[in-house]
Structure 1
Amino acid sequence: MIVFCNVCFSQTVPFYTKAQKLTGTFGLYHYDPFQLNQKTSQEVTELFITELDNRAMTIKGSDLKLLKENSNTFFDQINSNNDSYIEKANTVYLKALKTVDSILTVLSTRNLNFNENDTSYFLPYGSKKIVYSPTIKYHTKRLERYIKSKSYDRVVNTDDYDKLTEAEFNAKAQIFAKTIIANFQKNIQEEVKTSYRYVESTLLNAIALRYDPHSNYFTEEQNQEFNTQLSAQVESFGFFLDENEEGIISIANIEPGGSAWMSNEVNEGDAFISVKIGNEKITNEELNAYEIQDKLDKTKEDKILLTVKKQNGIIKIVKLIKQKTTSVDNSVKGYVLSYNNLKVGYISLPSFYTDMEEHNLPGCANDVAKEILKLENDTIKGLIIDLRNNGGGSMGEAMNLAGIFIDEGPLFIIKEKNRKPSLVKDINRGSLYKKPLLVMINETSASASELFSNIVKDYNLGVIVGQTSYGKGTAQSVLPLDTNLLYTKNKDAVKNNVDFIKITNSKFYRLNCSTHQGNGVVPDVILPPTPGYSMIKENKELYFLPADSIVKKVVYTPNPKLNTQSLQSNSAQRVSASKDFKRYLQITDSVNDMINKTQKVVLKFKEYKKFKKDNDVIFNSLERAFETNSNTIKCLNNTFDLKLEQVNIATREFNSKIIQSIQKDIFINESFNVMNDLINQKK
């Protein structure tokens, strides 16, 4: 459960004081704090170096050596009020930035040679290997190769690249190279101005990450981003962009109920590639995130084509419309799936949203309840809740959602450091829905999604279908770095604070006293895995908290057990015989083979063009692999929304695409079949 305490800390405080406050607070409240010694000193500095430059675009081998010197005394220095490590780190990093700036200046004065046999390497997906340049000469060549590769990427992202001759292709690449160098250099020069703040925040965050992968240090700006609730009163396309220190642009936030949310094809963390606004195509190499966001906010165009890269490498081109969201109402939408006189409700929930500022406003659980009432009017026999790619959100909303399906009783067990486990109960008596229930999850369903799924399992409320989930069974609180400010009456001190921490202070457990932490929720009915997602797991993260168990007496009344073995057996037979799933498995094998090995490409016209085409063929086929060719089920608006849709042409057109997407999804189709089996079991 995430708790937010919006108070602050002075900028003028020495680094060692901030580090002492951070380790002191974590020592008191973190679920499993570590000892501050030589071993953990070295581990923190290794995390710091990785976080500082995880692609080694700035730091060279000689810089690495300096940053590792005496790293095992880091905590000794901190406890002795000594800031020598961060001062050295800032000096090294600042010098490295200026070296890169100088290299870019040289590269900007000449045309790059696209006819030599430069080779670019792509490490296996999920690889954390970092190779540092041994010399400045090597680093210069490395930056040149990077710019060439990005220039070629930019050319092949244009609509007509396949028609270009070699001379035209290289001429375009040369133009893009100038833009890439200029943007790269601009980012470097901005970093030079703020290097100490960046080094400081990265080092403080590295200390937090050593405790576990979900603990963090936040600057004031980062805390505001973390707390951001997208405006409910302005027109937007429903997403916000952000850019990290390396210039990589990604989807930072998605507005509940907005166009991106409703598309069910855009997720937080997706990499931004380009957006087409009218006749103008803007890429991730031309403008920074803030400039692109400004264009999106100010454009009078009401439609865009957004191109993003999913975490598993799939390229998605999504049509979005600009619209005003007046409240969080209707942020989820219920549809009716129909086949052979069987009607099943379908609701996709991309995140467990709530209003962080107006606590009296309803969140996603209330919105889901409204949709269920609409669907009940269409005489549905069962309900599918789709939590695929739902990375979590408000634990309170997950609890409220579970309360829709159970009458009363405990929901889960929570345990904080040095405290006895305690039961968390459903505070709302009575249940809204008692018919068959199916919950869809996949490898990136996490946290609140897993909490809800386990409640469904414990009470035998329904069946879980999909792939084993991410495995996050911890809860965090957000506090000021200086926790004394929680109690101060000094409003100026609170107002001027700029430092926050997110701290993992508890684990949650199922009613049988086990936890999915590190292991994930295992579905009752297992479907084929999503390619590229095998590395996206809690237990792949450094310093994750391992699974354990507790002892706690729990009294509750579950529903009768479901025959999940029969459901799994029937599903496995269908999947094995399905042409759609055979095609899906063949394509996913090709994708896994490609992303699980080091790829190399010669940075020349013919070779790069072939490399791009070969990759596009695989990833484009993967996107189609999720679509069924049989069109077994029909997806329809619920009757209530169908009437409302008639008055808005743009919404109707947009909603039509969502319906097509749902209808073609092979995993939704199979989930419908599992629901049919479940309904027949209950007859």
Structure 2
Amino acid sequence: MKKTALVLLLSTFSLFAQNSSTSCEILLKINTLLQKEHYRPKPVNDSLSAYVFDELLNNLDPARNIFLKSQADSLANKYRFQLDDLILKKDCSFLDDIKSEYRKSLLRNKAVLEKLKTETINFGTKDTIRFQKKDFTFYLKANEVQKAWNKKIRYEIFDDIAGKSKKLDSLKLNFNSMSLKSQNSIIENELCKINVSLTSSKLFEDDFYNIFCVYFDPHTNYFSNDTKSSFVSTLSKEKLSLGLEVSLNEKNEINVIEIDPNGPAFKTGKIKKGDQILAISNQKETLEVSCSSLESIATMMSSELNTNLTLTLKRNSGKNFKVTIEKQVLKDEENTVYSFIADKDIKVGYIKIPSFYSNFEEENSKGCAQDVAKETVKLLRDDVKGLILDLTDNGGGSMEEAVKLAGLFIDRGPISIVADNKKQLSVINDPYKGVIYKGPIVIIINGNSASASEFFADIMQDYNRAILIGSTSLGKATMQTILPLEENDDQHFIKLTVSKFYRITGKSHQGVGVVPDVLIPTVYQDVFQKESEFPTALKNDSLKSRIRFTPYVSNELIESLAKKSRNRVALDPYFNSIIALNSNIDTIINKAKFEIPMTLDAIFENQAGINILSEEINNFSTDNLSLNVYNSEYNKSLLLLYPSLTEYNKIQLDSLKSNHYLNESISIISDYMTMRKTN
């Protein structure tokens, strides 16, 4: 047994003795704040009770292999419609009851797994396994627990072995020796997960608080100090960082894929690309990667409260080694605006806006909007004839930055309508006089473009200031702020929805997304989760707007440009191949349920089908396009001063040279210039 797992075992019993009265006090403070500040507060009633109860049990037992049906039914009879009354009576003893049943179930599973470790598994048992797409009911009976776990472990062993080679005959030949090793590893991992769950009382409480908040809307969340710090750090282009880029492979291993030569990890001289991270410690707590949630690992790594971290790593098949790193403030290149020039019959500027970051610590103008302004000036010095703003995968950020950015391109006038929790409406006006750039603009969005991205895209579309291309955005038209539960409380926070914004036409993209002028298929576009799919999302509505504004160009010009683009896209082999690829993805993702025999042959075949699709996605070719993309003269001089940026700059350049959305954007700007000359 691993040393960490043993430590967890020894500390199991004390951590579940959380005071329920303290939990109730925090919960009541959360409700008080939500009722006062939330955009549309909801009453604490049976509807809330049922939602919170169901979500809590779903989160605790998503695979339905922890609670017995009898336990789930008993808890539901006692609490599913009573939580609201108990909370208002300041009686949160139900948390102790649910935790007690959860702990009892975990210990039962632990005993079963310890027994399975010593047993020989019969892989010849005739059986099938069914995959459910959605949540399913609790079904487990007391006399079936061992059988259920035996089946689960058997499947995981088959699945593990099936992924180790593309040659089925070789796997069959070595199955006995491989299965013993796999069995031990899988059971140890399951035991480790159970031990983590047994000791995570704080996570249990935090999860419950968050479920309560999400009932009000999906973007209202409970934050501990740690999670608040991690969230805020994502909205900044400069953050305390280890200087490492990691990725998760198909085996759920975390590996180092990039090391910033200016960062603290590089300066230790001990870490190399390809090293596997086994554990992370902030000196108070150690998380083993194999049995901790990715969320907890990400929080520990990104939280600015954890300035010193010790990583346990492994290189190839060598011994484990530890490295302690002190974070330092670094520029996050992936979260920073950058620009290039693309030249194809016409010279255009391309600006990537990865997020609407801001400097929250200082009262100055540094942020996304200022960086876009700088890149625009650089491009204009090189005499570009059009501008392309790429908002794909931009999940939003600071609404203030989005307002400033709109002000750079809109001369004057109203840009949005905001409704607060008192149902009062206010109009946001362009904050600047004049514009930084007067020429044509194309904006690229996709299903991951959200919030502030959508806000900005709305404005540019309504004013006919830009043509939007890509796929429909997420559909989030609400604004959030982070507040402490009480004044001077530095441990408990709520990120809560305080207002909703509308387009100057009175319409809203809430729940429906921003629809581009030219719909262009993107890979995974049907897989991206939409706002409308969240059960507690605010509904779409509209206002009667009497706001007057003057579009930059006529609707007829926009429609003519869009029609030409749609015709090109419809005939483009690349975009048609994306449609076919998405169809294959949807076939696998959207299966309601399917059943396969529990044999190595069947699981190998099923996994092979998924692997073929993964390879098809990974090898999806864009090589038939080779755009002329290069740095502006100003950025060329910067690379001479900062040569460490050269490698990352080349990666960005190479990616854009085969970007078909950039190619279509250039064609739209070329059409625009031609039409303006002839009119």
For Structure 1 versus Structure 2, the TM-score category normalised by the shorter chain is 0.7 to 0.9
* Residue 48 (structure 1) aligns with: 56
Maintained 8 Å contact 1:532/1:595: no
| Residue 334 of structure 1 pairs with residue 329 of structure 2 | no
**Structure 2 SS opposite 1:165:** helix
Cα distance, 1:555 vs structure 2: 4.0
Equivalent position to 1:565, from 551, 559, 563: 559
Cα distance, 1:149 vs structure 2: 4.4
Give the letter for the 2:190 counterpart: F
Alignment of 1:393-412 (within 5 A): 393-412=397-416
Alignment of 1:14-413 (within 5 A): 14-70=22-78, 71-124=80-133, 128-152=134-158, 154-155=160-161, 164-168=170-174, 171-195=177-201, 197-228=202-233, 232=239, 236-238=243-245, 278=273, 280=275, 286=290, 288=292, 326-327=330-331, 331-340=336-345, 342-360=346-364, 362-413=366-417
Give the letter for the 2:385 counterpart: K
Larger mean Cα displacement after TM superposition, 396-405 or 437-446: 396-405
State the alpha-carbon separation in 1 of the partners of residues 223 and 74 from structure 2.
26
Equivalent position to 2:542, from 520, 535, 549: 549
Cα distance, 1:372 vs structure 2: 1.6
State the alpha-carbon separation in 2 of the partners of residues 257 and 447 from structure 1.
34
State the alpha-carbon separation in 2 of the partners of residues 621 and 425 from structure 1.
47
Cα deviations by residue, 1:244-273 (Å, 9 ceiling, x for unpaired): xxx98999xx999999xxxxxxxxxxxxxx
Cα deviations by residue, 1:326-362 (Å, 9 ceiling, x for unpaired): 446892221122213x122222222211233234361
TM-aligned CA distance change 1:136 to 1:674, over 3 Å: farther
State the alpha-carbon separation in 1 of the partners of residues 116 and 385 from structure 2.
66
Cα deviations by residue, 1:400-419 (Å, 9 ceiling, x for unpaired): 22122122332211111124
TM superposition score normalised by structure 1: 0.80
State the alpha-carbon separation in 2 of the partners of residues 365 and 66 from structure 1.
55
State the alpha-carbon separation in 1 of the partners of residues 311 and 46 from structure 2.
55
| Residue 444 of structure 1 pairs with residue 448 of structure 2 | yes
Give the letter for the 1:39 counterpart: S
Cα distance, 1:507 vs structure 2: 0.4
Maintained 8 Å contact 1:525/1:567: no
Cα distance, 1:46 vs structure 2: 1.8
TM-aligned CA distance change 1:639 to 1:618, over 3 Å: same
* Residue 319 (structure 1) aligns with: none
Cα deviations by residue, 1:379-438 (Å, 9 ceiling, x for unpaired): 221111111111111111111221221223322111111242001223232321211111
Cα distance, 1:676 vs structure 2: 2.5
* Residue 515 (structure 1) aligns with: 508
State the alpha-carbon separation in 2 of the partners of residues 285 and 173 from structure 1.
22
Maintained 8 Å contact 1:415/1:422: yes
TM-aligned CA distance change 1:11 to 1:476, over 3 Å: farther
Give the letter for the 2:442 counterpart: L
**Structure 2 SS opposite 1:674:** helix
* Residue 659 (structure 2) aligns with: 665
Cα distance, 1:156 vs structure 2: 5.7
Alpha carbon RMSD of aligned pairs, Å?
3.8
State the alpha-carbon separation in 1 of the partners of residues 262 and 129 from structure 2.
39
TM-aligned CA distance change 1:580 to 1:89, over 3 Å: same
**Structure 1 SS opposite 2:82:** helix
Maintained 8 Å contact 2:220/2:480: yes
* Residue 502 (structure 1) aligns with: 495
Cα distance, 1:280 vs structure 2: 4.7
* Residue 614 (structure 2) aligns with: 619
**Structure 1 SS opposite 2:500:** strand
Cα deviations by residue, 1:544-582 (Å, 9 ceiling, x for unpaired): 110112245434433122423223322222222222223
State the alpha-carbon separation in 1 of the partners of residues 104 and 543 from structure 2.
51
Maintained 8 Å contact 2:625/2:659: no
State the alpha-carbon separation in 2 of the partners of residues 203 and 294 from structure 1.
23
Cα deviations by residue, 1:123-172 (Å, 9 ceiling, x for unpaired): 44xxx323434224544444444444444555566588779432435634
**Structure 2 SS opposite 1:352:** coil
Cα distance, 1:35 vs structure 2: 2.5
TM-aligned CA distance change 1:39 to 1:583, over 3 Å: closer
State the alpha-carbon separation in 2 of the partners of residues 279 and 30 from structure 1.
46
Give the letter for the 2:530 counterpart: K
Equivalent position to 2:471, from 467, 470, 487: 467
Equivalent position to 1:590, from 564, 584, 603: 584
State the alpha-carbon separation in 2 of the partners of residues 248 and 300 from structure 1.
16
Maintained 8 Å contact 2:482/2:493: yes
Cα distance, 1:299 vs structure 2: 8.6
Give the letter for the 1:527 counterpart: I
Cα distance, 1:13 vs structure 2: 5.2
State the alpha-carbon separation in 1 of the partners of residues 672 and 125 from structure 2.
62
Cα deviations by residue, 1:62-104 (Å, 9 ceiling, x for unpaired): 2321221232122112222222322221211121222222222
State the alpha-carbon separation in 2 of the partners of residues 98 and 632 from structure 1.
59
**Structure 2 SS opposite 1:404:** helix
Larger mean Cα displacement after TM superposition, 44-53 or 513-522: 44-53
Larger mean Cα displacement after TM superposition, 647-656 or 29-38: 647-656
| Residue 608 of structure 1 pairs with residue 603 of structure 2 | yes
Give the letter for the 2:441 counterpart: L
**Structure 2 SS opposite 1:678:** helix
Maintained 8 Å contact 2:570/2:576: yes
| Structure number with higher relative contact order (C-alpha < 8 Å, ≥ 6 residues apart) | 1
* Residue 318 (structure 1) aligns with: none
State the alpha-carbon separation in 2 of the partners of residues 587 and 171 from structure 1.
38
Maintained 8 Å contact 1:412/1:510: yes
**Structure 1 SS opposite 2:410:** coil
Specify the structure having the higher radius of gyration (Cα): 2
TM-aligned CA distance change 1:234 to 1:20, over 3 Å: closer
TM-aligned CA distance change 1:79 to 1:599, over 3 Å: same
Larger mean Cα displacement after TM superposition, 663-672 or 70-79: 663-672
TM superposition score normalised by structure 2: 0.81
Larger mean Cα displacement after TM superposition, 373-382 or 143-152: 143-152
State the alpha-carbon separation in 2 of the partners of residues 463 and 587 from structure 1.
26
Give the letter for the 1:192 counterpart: L
**Structure 1 SS opposite 2:219:** coil
TM-aligned CA distance change 1:647 to 1:223, over 3 Å: closer
Equivalent position to 2:461, from 457, 476, 483: 457
State the alpha-carbon separation in 1 of the partners of residues 547 and 438 from structure 2.
23
Contiguous gaps of at least 5 residues in structure 1: 1-9, 242-246, 260-275, 305-322, 486-493
TM-aligned CA distance change 1:81 to 1:644, over 3 Å: closer
Larger mean Cα displacement after TM superposition, 498-507 or 668-677: 668-677
**Structure 2 SS opposite 1:576:** helix
Aligned residue-pair number: 615
Give the letter for the 1:84 counterpart: S
Larger mean Cα displacement after TM superposition, 616-625 or 466-475: 616-625
Maintained 8 Å contact 2:622/2:658: yes
Maintained 8 Å contact 2:34/2:41: yes
Give the letter for the 1:334 counterpart: S
Give the letter for the 1:559 counterpart: Y
Give the letter for the 1:107 counterpart: L
Maintained 8 Å contact 1:257/1:328: no
**Structure 1 SS opposite 2:342:** strand
* Residue 533 (structure 2) aligns with: 540
